């Protein structure tokens, strides 16, 4: 915004309650559209709503950035940049608001690869938009792990490690699709999934000490597929960082075992 008489202008306030309502409404309309009619639903949706995935993606990025800016403004004792109509201060559930946005993004990008898929550049932008919040980053890691495979699906079992040792196998997840609705596909390609794991989840900047069990579980979902194929490099470096910084001794011990298996 323009600079005010008293110095730099504060960003215009956003009514987060209304913004979240619009996201939910968009999800509702998309679900209704994909249920209606017959034939190639993805092609019909692309023709009628081609810009929707990008718009929803930009909404998530904008929300994450507003969250980061809000934290900076509050820490400096400045004016609030986020508002919630009809709610008292602190009543707005930001955790739920982010979860709703990520679930909607998962839905629209999982409808069909012919309609839309997330790119590695988009995943990186999401990742960098929540660098200042451990809770937001953990929610994003859960999103990446879920979006990397079809609903209820499992990857091929990894091959046995050298010496006949086998990494623990994940248990099948129950189908998550709603009754009467086909399950969603992966929201991005296997190449993008490999990029997300190697360049984001295994990056040096991840503060594992500030993350919780959901973040570790998300790493496991990616890592179980990856460790059977790759032993060394960024994966092992990330495992060591988790071992050394995890606040839970059980988690640290488990990931130490994974380092052992990966280097055997």
Q: What is the pLDDT of residues 177-190, one digit of tens each?
A: 443 345 788 999 98
47 in the same domain as 110? yes
Q: How far is Cα 188 from Cα 71, in angstroms, rounded to an integer?
A: 31
Q: Is residue 142 part of a domain?
A: no
Task: Please tell me whether residue 139 adopts helix, strand or coil conformation.
Answer: helix
Cβ distance 180 to 240 under 8 Å? no
174 in the same domain as 88? no
* Average of per-residue pLDDT values in the chain: 73
175 in the same domain as 90? no
Q: Is residue 146 part of a domain?
A: no
Structure-token pair, residue 8: 């730099």
pLDDT band at 124 (very low <50, low <70, confident <90, very high): very high
Average pLDDT over residues 73-92: 47
pLDDT band at 89 (very low <50, low <70, confident <90, very high): very low
The last residue of a domain, from among 62, 95, 116: 116
Measured in degrees and rounded to the nearest 5, phi and psi for residue 122 equal -65, -40
User: What's residue 222's pLDDT?
Assistant: 81
Q: How far is Cα 89 from Cα 72, in angstroms, rounded to an integer?
A: 17
173 in the same domain as 111? no
Q: Is residue 44 part of a domain?
A: yes
Into how many domains does the chain fold? Answer: 2
Q: Is residue 82 part of a domain?
A: yes
Greater model confidence, 67 or 100: 100
Q: Is residue 145 part of a domain?
A: no
The tens digit of pLDDT for each residue in 144-162 reads 999 998 975 544 333 333 3
189 in the same domain as 99? no
Q: Is residue 128 part of a domain?
A: no
Q: What are the contacts of 159-165 at 24+ separation with CB within 8 A? A: 159/228, 159/229, 160/228, 161/228, 161/231, 161/261, 161/262, 161/264, 162/264, 163/264, 165/261, 165/264
Compute the 3-state secondary structure of the chain and give helix, strand, coil in percent, each to the nearest 5: 60, 0, 40
Specify the range with the lowest mean pLDDT, choosing from 21-25, 116-120, 170-174: 170-174
Q: Is residue 138 part of a domain?
A: no
Task: Please tell me whether residue 93 adopts helix, strand or coil conformation.
Answer: coil
What are the residues facing 7 on neighbouring strands? 4
82 in the same domain as 29? yes
User: What's residue 261's pLDDT?
Assistant: 52
Helix (H) / strand (E) element for 15: namely: strand 14-15
Length of the chain: 264
Q: Is the model's pLDDT at 168 over the cut of 60?
A: no
256 in the same domain as 191? yes
Residue corresponding to tokens 């495992």 = 239
Per cent of the chain over pLDDT 70 is 58
pLDDT band at 229 (very low <50, low <70, confident <90, very high): low
Structure-token pair, residue 5: 């008489």
259 in the same domain as 171? yes
The last residue of a domain, from among 116, 144, 174: 116
Q: How far is Cα 246 from Cα 248, in angstroms, rounded to an integer?
A: 5
104 in the same domain as 32? yes
- For residue 226, give its domain range: 158-264
Q: Is the model's pLDDT at 99 over the cut of 50?
A: yes
238 in the same domain as 184? yes
Q: How far is Cα 186 from Cα 138, in angstroms, rounded to an integer?
A: 19
212 in the same domain as 112? no
Q: Is the model's pLDDT at 203 over the cut of 70?
A: yes
User: What's residue 178's pLDDT?
Assistant: 45
pTM over 0.75: no
User: What's residue 165's pLDDT?
Assistant: 39
108 in the same domain as 163? no
Q: How far is Cα 85 from Cα 116, in angstroms, rounded to an integer?
A: 33
Q: How far is Cα 203 from Cα 238, in angstroms, rounded to an integer?
A: 7
The last residue of a domain, from among 116, 146, 171: 116
Q: Is residue 124 part of a domain?
A: no
How far is the CA of 188 from the CAs of 25, 34, 52, 152, in angstroms?
Answer: 24, 19, 16, 16
Q: How far is Cα 52 from Cα 220, in angstroms, rounded to an integer?
A: 32
């Amino acid at each position: 915004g323009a600079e005010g008489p008293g110095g730099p202008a504060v960003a215009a306030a956003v009514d987060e309650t209304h913004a979240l309502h619009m996201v939910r409404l968009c999800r509702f309309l998309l679900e209704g559209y994909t249920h209606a009619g017959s034939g190639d639903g993805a092609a019909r949706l692309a023709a009628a709503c081609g810009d929707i995935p990008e718009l929803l993606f930009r909404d998530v990025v904008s929300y994450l950035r507003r969250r980061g800016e809000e934290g900076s403004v509050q820490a400096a004792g400045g004016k609030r940049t986020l508002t919630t109509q009809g709610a008292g201060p602190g009543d707005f559930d930001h955790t739920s608001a982010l979860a709703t946005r990520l679930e909607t993004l998962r839905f629209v990008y999982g409808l069909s690869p012919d309609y839309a898929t997330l790119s590695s550049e988009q995943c990186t932008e999401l990742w960098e938009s929540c660098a200042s919040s451990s809770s937001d980053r953990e929610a994003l890691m859960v999103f990446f792990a879920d979006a990397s495979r079809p609903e209820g699906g499992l990857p091929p079992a990894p091959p046995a490690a050298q010496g006949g040792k086998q990494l623990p196998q994940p248990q099948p997840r129950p189908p998550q699709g709603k009754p009467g609705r086909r399950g969603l596909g992966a929201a991005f390609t296997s190449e993008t999934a490999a990029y997300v794991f190697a360049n984001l989840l295994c990056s040096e900047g991840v503060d594992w000490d500030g993350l919780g069990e959901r973040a570790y579980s998300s790493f496991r979902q990616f890592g179980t597929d990856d460790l059977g194929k790759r032993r060394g490099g960024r994966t092992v470096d990330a495992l060591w960082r988790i071992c050394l910084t995890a606040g839970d001794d059980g988690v640290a011990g488990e990931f130490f075992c994974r380092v052992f298996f990966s280097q055997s």
